[in-house]
Structures are given as C-alpha cells and as structure tokens.
Structure 1
Amino acid sequence: MIAQPGFLFTLAAFIVVIGVLVFIHEAGHYLMARVFGIKADTFSIGFGREIAGWTDKRGTRWKLSALPLGGYVKFAGDLNAASEPDPDAAQMPPEEYAKTFQAKPMWQRALVILAGPLTNFLFAILVFAVFFMTYGHAFTPAIINGVQPGSPAAVAGLQTGDKIIALDGQTVERFEDVVRVVTINPGTPIDARISRDGVERQLTITPKVVAETDRFGNAYTRGMLGVTSAGRIVERRSPVAAVYFAVQETWLLTRTMADTLVQVVTGRRAVNELGGPLKIAQFTGQQATLGLPNLVQFMALISINLGFINLLPIPMLDGGHLFLYAVEAIRRRPLEAKVQEWAFMSGFAALLTLMLFLTWNDLASVGVWKHLSALLG
C-alpha cells in the first residue's frame, strides 16, 4: 500500500488543480462574452476577500480570492457574482448599457453561460487526445477469454469466446465499456446482448457486489461479472483518431456520471458514496504523488465532473441560468425580478446544503465522527 501524501502537499495540489480548472471554466464565459461585446467587471479565482489582483485596460478586475473553491466572472449589468440581473442597470447611459450582459439577446446570453461547461469538456478532450497520441490508447477487445465457475457470468450463461455487444442498453465496443457499466451496477440485474458463433443472444446478468480497497487505503464497492478478457492493446492514435476517441471517452465518462447520479437519486446507490471537496482534495494529492501524467488525467476527469455538475438545472449554476432562459423563451418574456430572486436564493440554499452534506460524508469517510464518538464515549 502506498503511503498517503502529506497535508500541505495535498492542499497545494488541490489548490493548483481547482484553480486551473476554475480558470478554464470561467475563461469560457469570459471569451464568449468578449465575442458579443459584453464588458466583464470582475474575473475572480476563488470567493471572498481579494488576496491579489490587477485591473486591465478594459476595466476588468482580475483577482485571486481567499476561498479557492470556485470562481466567477461578474459582467456589467450583474448585481452579484451569480449573474443576478441588476434592476438599476437599465438606468445606465445607453452606450454603457449596450455592453451589459442583460442588454444582449437571450441566445447570446445562453451561449455565454453554456461556454463555461463546454470549455471544461473541451479541456478533457484535449488531454485525452494528447495522451492517445503520445502514450497511446489502451483498449481490450470485448471478447470473453474465460469464465469463473459459479460467478454471475457463469450463472447467466456466458461462455469463453462470447463477444459482448451491449450492456444495460449501451453499445459495447471494447472490454473497458463492460467494466464501466458493470462497476456502477453492483447487485443490479442488467440486460446483455452477446454474439456467440455468429448468433446474437439476450441474457440478464446481476454483477456481484465486491468490496475493495485501493492502493491508498480508500474503501469502495463495485460490480463484478467474473470473466477474464483477451490481451490489452495499446495503440498510438493519429491526431484525427485521437480526437475521435477522446470525444468518445469524454462522452462515456459523462454518461457514467449521469447514470451514477440517477442511481443515487432513485436509491440504487447509497448517498454516502458521494464525495465532496475534502475527498477530491484527498484524491488530488494521491494522484499527484503518482506523477504528472496521472495528475493531468485526473484533472481531465474533474474537469468533466465540473462541466457536468454546472449543467444541472439548479439556480446559481450554469444549468439553472439556462433553465430560466428556457422558461423565458416559452413565456416570451423574462420571469419577474422577485421570482428570479427567489430562484437564486433557493439555489444558493440547495448548494450550501449539498456542500455541507458532502463535507459531512467526507469527514465520515476518514473516520472523524467515529473518532469523536470514541473520545466522547
């Protein structure tokens, strides 16, 4: 087992990773706003008190703030960092009001909001593409090389030589796709479509629930079929092929995140499996100890996560803004200012509650509450 990295090393790695990813996200908003002539008042990495900063020739204040758990771009016409519209913005001189976020057509505002999450996905695609061109793209044919007696695969009727075509309604192109679907479905029956001797067959498989511990001592559960695969192949991809497979990898990871969230909401997975900022910081430090390639790939994964979460339809998040724009498009007029204010307040409360809950989970996962209970007992 590899020793856990020190606290200061973990904290430094976490701040760097989150800072870079937040900058990438907010740069997406900022650059798209520049395209449409929207003035940015503030570009902040972090929240709260300013630690350092400068003002550029366009009047944008670039700054680092004390709490490094996010960031924002505050545009002209915004009341606050959440892009809540300032009701007094319309009283500005016409030439200044024309540069505000609220003065732009809805489709331009929507693109500015959408650009943040999309930039996170593009960053992940770039990272994967570079790795596939340099280190190579590892994949395994989705052909079963062996079946363990008594395993879920054996019970379902899988045999050596079977080619898995689809699992849980998802097309399987490589054995890694099998692992991805099975891992997040422990104990859950899933439909499988296989090819045996040129004939397609339908099966139902229930992956076994397996409790494991990684090399850093983190405990988790996953699903297992009980099959072995053929040899792994590593190929360096051409630039075009690398981008294609990078897009595919990003899409599959995003879909896995969506499937996992649905499982938590519907009760198929326990809520204590969700991690928050402390758990992300822990994993960041662990990946950093394994070297720069591991850390960069982990950054790509977190970037996808950041893009996905921001697209959820929760006020205060980008997806919440897009949802309000969709309502505005249907109604053909904006929501009343009071309604928007309540939406932002409820969104803030929901995010704060979620953050507290995830932090509680993080502390429980490292035994803080158990330790306190033992001390008080």
Structure 2
Amino acid sequence: MSYQKNMSNNYPTKKLGEVCDFQNGLWTGKKPPFVTASVVRNTNFKNNDGTLNLGDVAEIEVEEKQLKNRLLEEGDLILERSGGGPTQPVGRVVYFDADGKFSFSNFTTRIRVRNSKELDSVYLWRCLNYLYLSGVTEKMQKQTTGIRNLNFSEYKELQIPLQPLAEQKKIVARLEGLLGKIKEAKQLRAEAGEAAQNLLPAELHRIFTQQHSNILQNVGMSDSRSKEKWEEKELGEVFVFHYGKGLPRPERSESGKYIVYGANGELGRSDRYLIDGEGIIVGRKGSAGEVTRATGRYWPTDVTYFITKDKKYDIGFAYYLFKFLNFPQYAVGVKPGINRKEIYGIKIPLPSVAEQKKIVARLDSLSEKIKNLREYQTQTRSDFIALEQSVLSKSFQHS
C-alpha cells in the first residue's frame, strides 16, 4: 500500500496486531447467569466521522462471564467487522469515550492499545479512520449473503507509523483543530440546507394567509395603490378534480415517449398519452395528496386526480396553492386515500388571474434559487469529504 510505503521512509512502523489487543463482541446469552448490558452496535456509528451516537443503544440479556471481558474503557476503538452496505464499505472505526458500562456487538471488535507510552489511542483512531476513508480497508472486505465482512487477518497486518509519542500528540492536536473547523462548517451547511427546505413553505404561508383584508401589497406583489381584494371561494367552485385512468403494464415502456404519473410523481413511460397540456397531478391513493406539476403529453393513472388549464386560474398558481393546502392531511384509510368531495369544501383565497401570474413568477423564481442552493449543498458535501481526506492524508504522510 502506497500509504504504508511512504510512512516507512520516515518513521518505524509496526503491524497493528503487534501493538493492540483484540476482542470480538457479544450478543444475546445462551447460558445463565444473565445480566442486562448496554451494547454498542454498527447503527451507533455516527456517519463516517468516527464518533458514536449512543441515543439508541441496545439493552440485551448477555452471559455474565462473557460480559466481564467485553466491557469498554475510555480510549478503546470499536471496529466494524461485518455490515456495511451498497455504498458503504465495512471497516469503520469509532472512538469510545462515554461514561457508564457499555459492551459491543458480535458484528464488531474492540481494539485496545497495549502500551499507551508507545502509541496514543486517539492517534491510532485517526490513523485507522484515514485508512478507511482513503479506501485501503475496502480492499480487505468480502461479501456473503448481502453482508460485507472484513478480512481480519489482513487488517491486523496494517502497518502503523510510530512517531515519538509527543509527535503523535501534536498530530492529534493539529487534526482536532482542523477537523473541528470542518465539522463546524458542515454543521453550518446542514443548517443552511434545512433553512432552504423551509423557504418555500414559509413563503406559501406568508402569501396565502395574508392579513388586513387580503390586500396584495401586504405580500409585496402589488404597489401601494392596489386595493384589489382576494375572493374567498370553496375549492370545488374553482377546480374540477378529474379521475386518472388505468394503463395496463404491457402498454408501458422505459423507452416510451410520454411520462406516466402515479400518486407520487413519475411512475414510468408509455407511447400513449391521455392529456396534452399543462396540468397538476394529485395523488388519490397511496401517496395521497402529493402534488406534481405536469407539462406536454402525459398519462395520469387511476391512483391520481388531475386538473387542466382553465380561464378561472393560472395552472402554476394552482400548483402552489395545492402545496400550501397540504392535501396529505386529508387522507384516510389503511391505504391512505382522498375523496375529492371531502376537499371540495376547503375555503381558499383567490386573487385575479393577473395577480396569480405575479405570484407564480415570484414563487417560480424562489423555487429555482432553492434548487440551485440544493445542488450547491450536494457539491459542498463532496468537497467536505475530500477536504477531510486531504487533511488526514497530509497528517499521516507528511507529518
């Protein structure tokens, strides 16, 4: 491995198996006496940052004699030996520093440093976490029946660079500072993402719950001279919810020209279409109440309602109004469904079509900005991962 070759040129190394002791985990006991134990599982591994989330630790009955040798101490590392997923290799490592008595599951292994005067446990944790994030340990896994397993014999052969202990602690301190700043930045990104998600609902609420006699100037979409008031109508006075129509599976094709809509959006494609023109699809059964905007030619299936263009309303305004009305709250039944007669009586605010178009222009612009922000959020997520790997790489390859 290139990483280990680079390190061996600067510092002496030892195999992981030479500097640490290992203990496999436990699970439900078979022979009494039993005791209740708090057991850390793979699900307690928080993301891929090497920390623990102890919010849902398993409480299970284990054999008392098995537990004695499997209690965690501060500074222990817990290695994921089995698990992983389609996009998550097995081999994550977490650092244990919690108060209280905890053990660890049979899908994990405890790693304990033998000599703390030779090897700092936090330094080792960062080192092993770097090897995981850089893909070194991914080559050591094998897969059986959908579960990834780590080749533990090979894992113990990993070469660990052994700088003087004081140097190890300097590396740890430097990493804690840099990774702490990255963590803060990631938290800010997450908060910004949550705020972006709430922007449209907040604006819909502001627009459709106007006060002061429903005067449009109160939401910033008419000048101060406008005194046009919004009408109050029942939903069924303005909109006609048509039933979608079933489309046999043989008539659907992945290469079809037109979109087939189900209750929760695009369901498939077909060379047949039922509607030609702008419309709104509303889930009738299953994902009842979900709202999708449709254009061109398409086929709304029999688990949907749909509306089409009408001189009473702008189709874009209908979309945003339906999103605001939160139709899913009206769904009932084991397989949730919405009866159009039940929602036709909902009171709705209705401005003129001209004003509707102004509202749609504003909300379309906001939606586009939110979309761009989400795309940027996705990009920065990848950037943060790369930055973490870069920081770790420089610490262990060029320290």
Which interval holds the TM-score relative to the shorter structure?
Answer: under 0.3
Larger proportion of helix: 1
Q: TM-score, normalised by structure 1?
A: 0.25
Mark the structure with the bigger radius of gyration: 2
Structure number with higher relative contact order (C-alpha < 8 Å, ≥ 6 residues apart):
1
